[in-house]
């Protein structure tokens, strides 16, 4: 694995310092005078480095939560006043991690970085190049320069699964602030808040100590857990449902006109019902049907769907639940997360499918004749059903909040002869972000700045990969 360090100094750091995983990222720190240039070091890891990964945009120097987990680990609570105390942060983390053999800490902003504790242990120099200094300003700027755009481009290589393949996560040692048994004090704090509003402010002192103790226990444990490939299981569940749920949501909320004649309400409802059945086909056992399909539509007993829900919700996790003793506490948490996620997806789509069956929309459980006055639901009943479906699917999307759905809509450069001139990026610190003095006043409406909402709730947007570099509005 190659790592990069851009600097104005010609010597290898003798204190904890930062490394980039891509040279484009390290070059923005390659500062110096025009006549003497700067220095770009390339290192190779001589052994696997043991690093602790802070999830999220954990290298962003902002006061809205990106640094919370590091603050809690070091100081027991978030301290916004120390947002830019990076030297204190890296020294403190390295001092704490020494007992557990931690080589460094992995974080992300535009691209991944490693906060390395000791450059003399586990690294060798590959090259030391004297380069022209990077002179472009990045912090607070829009992606309107070659230097900034290339850093964003290198970071975008790892946007999708499997992420950065050079960083191998050991999920058997995962510790999460979403573990409600470990951090109960945050449960009431998060109530009625969107995911992007979740912070660690308000964490109890006892919970902060419990997290640190759980992390230290995980780092001290030997062995590699159960051997279950959790990343693959995550991927299978998300692949199974992400595109299908997105298609169902699109059918319920079309954003583009269809070619030819527009579909009627009943045609749209039948297409949605068909997609619901497709998602559930492996679990709809023979005989699963309402007691009186041709009877009164007012009878809405859903007990007949219980076997369908059971197999849908448990097929991926039952074999692991049967032998919990083989799992580490971290793996038990992961299993619970996958199980609960799968259950909620199946609860929603089974409920929607059953409602469609009762309205006579299912192509197999009900095939009414054209002469049957009950063959089509009334416009009122159909409109009510479609509204309920929209509410259910929107709630599910908001609850899941999967990153796979974060994309530019419409896709970048759809009408250009060359579809390679633009890329989709999610605004991230420090690019297109407010300067520190503005960021500190975001909570005060009288000092709000233009684009503040885009910064608080970043939305993907298209930017040009070739000159002129700019955001495509």
Q: Is residue 16 domain-shared with residue 124, that is, in the same domain?
A: yes
Using CA atoms, how far apart are residues 409 and 160, in angstroms rounded to an integer? 17
pLDDT at position 271: 96
Q: Is residue 195 domain-shared with residue 155, that is, in the same domain?
A: no
Q: Is residue 323 domain-shared with residue 341, that is, in the same domain?
A: yes
**pLDDT per position as a tens digit, 56-114:** 999 999 888 899 999 999 999 999 999 999 999 999 999 999 999 999 999 999 999 99
In a domain, 416, yes or no: no
Long-range contacts of 322-326 (CB under 8 A, 24+ apart): 326/226
- Both tokens of 209, joined, read 């100590």
Using CA atoms, how far apart are residues 359 and 434, in angstroms rounded to an integer? 52
pLDDT at position 258: 59
pLDDT at position 376: 74
In a domain, 412, yes or no: no
Whole-prediction pTM value?
A: 0.88
Task: Give the domain extent around 93.
Answer: 2-168
In a domain, 417, yes or no: no
Q: Is residue 162 domain-shared with residue 190, that is, in the same domain?
A: no
Q: In the chain, what percentage of residues exceed pLDDT 70?
A: 86
Residue 166 pLDDT greater than 70, yes or no: yes
pLDDT at position 297: 52
359, 377, 405 - which closes a domain: 405
Q: Is residue 140 domain-shared with residue 192, that is, in the same domain?
A: no
In a domain, 158, yes or no: yes
DSSP one-letter string for 299-353:
----GGGHHHHHHHHHTTTHHHHT-GGGS-HHHHHHHHHHHHHHHHHHHHHHHHH
Q: Is residue 442 domain-shared with residue 380, that is, in the same domain?
A: no
**pLDDT per position as a tens digit, 14-56:** 999 999 999 999 999 999 888 899 999 999 999 999 999 999 9
Q: Is residue 280 domain-shared with residue 390, that is, in the same domain?
A: yes
pLDDT at position 241: 97
354, 373, 405 - which closes a domain: 405
In a domain, 413, yes or no: no
Judge contact between 94 and 16, C-beta under 8 A: yes
Q: Is residue 13 domain-shared with residue 84, that is, in the same domain?
A: yes
Q: Which residues of 94-124 are buried (b: 16+ CB within 10 A; e: fewer)?
A: bebbeeeebbbbbbbbbbbbbbbbbbeebbe
In a domain, 411, yes or no: no
pLDDT at position 416: 60
In a domain, 272, yes or no: yes
Q: Is residue 152 domain-shared with residue 121, that is, in the same domain?
A: yes
Does 446 or 158 have the greater pLDDT score? 158
**pLDDT per position as a tens digit, 377-403:** 888 999 999 999 999 999 999 999 999
368 pLDDT band (50/70/90 cuts)? very low
Q: Is residue 243 domain-shared with residue 386, that is, in the same domain?
A: yes
Q: Is residue 13 domain-shared with residue 162, that is, in the same domain?
A: yes
Domain total in the chain: 4
Cα angle: 187, vertex 190, 195; to 5 degrees: 130
């Amino acid at each position: 694995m190659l790592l990069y360090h851009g600097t104005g100094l010609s010597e290898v750091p003798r204190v904890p310092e930062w490394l980039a995983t891509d040279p484009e990222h390290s070059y923005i720190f390659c500062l110096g005078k025009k006549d003497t240039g700067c220095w770009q070091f390339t290192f190779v890891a001589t052994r696997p480095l043991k690093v602790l990964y802070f999830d999220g945009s954990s290298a962003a120097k902002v006061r809205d939560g990106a640094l919370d987990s590091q603050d809690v680990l070091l100081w027991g609570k978030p301290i916004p006043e120390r947002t830019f105390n990076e030297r204190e942060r890296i020294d403190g983390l390295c001092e704490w991690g020494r007992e557990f053999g931690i080589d460094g800490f992995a974080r992300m902003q535009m691209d991944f970085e490693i906060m390395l504790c000791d450059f003399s242990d586990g690294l060798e120099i590959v090259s030391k190049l004297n380069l022209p200094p990077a002179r472009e300003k990045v912090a607070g700027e829009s992606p309107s320069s070659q230097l900034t755009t290339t850093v964003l481009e290198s970071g975008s290589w790892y946007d999708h699964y499997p992420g950065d393949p050079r960083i191998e996560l050991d999920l058997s040692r995962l510790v999460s602030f979403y573990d409600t048994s470990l951090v109960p004090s945050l449960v009431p704090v998060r109530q009625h808040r969107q995911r992007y509003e979740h912070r660690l402010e308000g964490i109890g002192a006892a919970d902060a100590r419990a997290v640190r103790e759980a992390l230290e226990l995980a780092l001290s444990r030997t062995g590699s857990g159960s051997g279950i490939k959790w990343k693959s299981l995550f991927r299978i569940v998300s692949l199974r449902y992400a595109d299908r749920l997105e298609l169902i949501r699109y059918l319920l909320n079309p954003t583009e006109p269809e070619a030819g004649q527009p579909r009627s309400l009943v045609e749209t409802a039948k297409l949605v019902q068909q997609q619901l059945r497709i998602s559930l086909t492996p679990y709809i056992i023979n005989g699963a049907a309402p007691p009186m399909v041709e009877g009164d539509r007012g009878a809405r007993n859903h007990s007949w769907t219980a076997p369908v829900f059971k197999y849908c919700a448990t097929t991926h996790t039952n074999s692991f639940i049967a032998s919990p003793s083989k799992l580490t506490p971290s793996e038990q948490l992961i299993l619970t997360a996958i199980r609960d996620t799968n259950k909620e997806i199946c609860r929603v789509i089974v409920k929607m499918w059953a409602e469609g069956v009762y309205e006579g929309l299912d192509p197999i459980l009900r095939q009414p004749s054209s002469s049957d006055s009950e063959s089509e639901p009334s416009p009122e009943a159909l409109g009510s059903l479609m509204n309920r479906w929209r509410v259910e699917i929107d709630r599910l999307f908001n609850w899941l909040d999967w990153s796979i759905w974060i994309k530019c809509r419409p896709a970048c450069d759809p009408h250009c002869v060359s579809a390679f001139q633009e890329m989709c990026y999610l605004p991230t610190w420090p690019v297109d972000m407010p300067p520190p003095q503005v960021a500190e006043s975001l909570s005060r409406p009288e000092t709000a700045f233009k684009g503040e909402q885009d910064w608080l709730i970043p939305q993907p947007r298209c930017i040009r990969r070739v000159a002129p570099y700019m955001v495509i509005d």
